[in-house]
Amino acid sequence: MQPVSSRRIKSGDAEIVYRTLGEGAPVVLLHPFPANHEFWLPVAERLSTRYRVILPDLRGHGESGVGEGSATMAKHAEDIARVMDDAEVGRAPLIGVSIGGYALFEFWRKHRGRVAALGLCNTKAPADSADARAARVQGANDVLERGTEPFFESMIPRLLGQTTREARPDLVAGALSMMRKTSPAGVAQVQRGMAERPDSVNTLKTINVPTLLVTGDEDVLTGINEAELMRRHIAGSEMRVIAKAGHYSPWEQPHEAVRLLRQFLDSVVGGQ
């Protein structure tokens, strides 16, 4: 295993923690809600034989602070920029899962000159519907009143595919262990930030860097339809479906995720 270094930086009103491992061309990997950088470690360790992998804990997740008020996509985007500044990375491929993808749409709008390529995994471009926004806000309130455990338990059938839940209890336990490192305030403010996120469908047409779209065939939250919508709107993008995987597809099938991402990154970095 490659040695992992950890850094704490100030970004706006929050302390953001990130890890790096490996040497070579940089790549930034953004985890989904409500996990943390550990989500990517099975993949990152394999990628780090060629790449310098940068793994932030997004605002409100893991060891990173949440700051005041909603953890908006604008705040996440600025946090990513500060991490890249601290890591002395000007431009790099960025890959995000779920909320990591939402943050990357905002990062593209604000800092597109720093984006060498995009990996959009298990995510979607449309904003939440009114009902979905209301459910997020209610979920945020519930977590502050009742704690996080009922929320995390309720999320497992939505985040992990049926195959994983039935055949890999270790991955289920690992996912819950990651989630438990996120505080009630973190869960609540991140949920509110996702509820407030802007629609990004029109942004898709502006993306003009190499883009890989990844989803799981058992992803009940975003899935193939959302990936296909992005593929239609992002010129030249490629879409891949990971079998026997849900919304956490790189966590559920890390070997396949490594294969897809290594192939993509090798083609992108080789062409720079």
Coil, helix or strand at residue 256: helix
Dmax (CA) of the chain: 51
Per-residue model confidence (pLDDT) at position 141: 94
- Cβ(76)–Cβ(186) under 8 Å? no
Residue 214 amino acid letter:
V
**What is the distance between the alpha carbons of residues 263 and 240, in angstroms, rounded to a whole number?**
12
Q: Say which residue the tokens 């295993």 belong to.
A: 1
**What is the distance between the alpha carbons of residues 104 and 119, in angstroms, rounded to a whole number?**
9
Per-residue model confidence (pLDDT) at position 93: 98
- Residues 6+ away with beta carbon under 8 Å from 111: 77, 80, 81
**Which stretches of the chain are DSSP H helices?**
41-47, 73-86, 99-111, 130-146, 149-159, 162-167, 169-179, 184-195, 201-204, 223-233, 249-252, 254-270
Its domain, for residue 101, covers 4-270
Residue 71 amino acid letter:
A
Per-residue model confidence (pLDDT) at position 3: 72
Rounded alpha-carbon distances, angstroms, from residue 79 to 65, 166, 225: 11, 37, 30
Per-residue model confidence (pLDDT) at position 202: 97
- Residues 6+ away with beta carbon under 8 Å from 95: 27, 28, 29, 30, 118, 119, 120, 121, 212, 261
- Residues 6+ away with beta carbon under 8 Å from 88: none
- Cβ(74)–Cβ(100) under 8 Å? no
Name the nearest CA neighbour of 251 among 182, 176, 150, 154: 176
Domain CATH number, residue 211: 3.40.50.1820
Q: How many domains, in total, are found in the chain?
A: 1
Q: Is the peptide bond preceding residue 34 cis, with omega within 30 degrees of 0?
A: yes
Count CA within 13 A, CB hemisphere, residue 224: 7
- Regions of the chain short of the pLDDT cut 50: 272
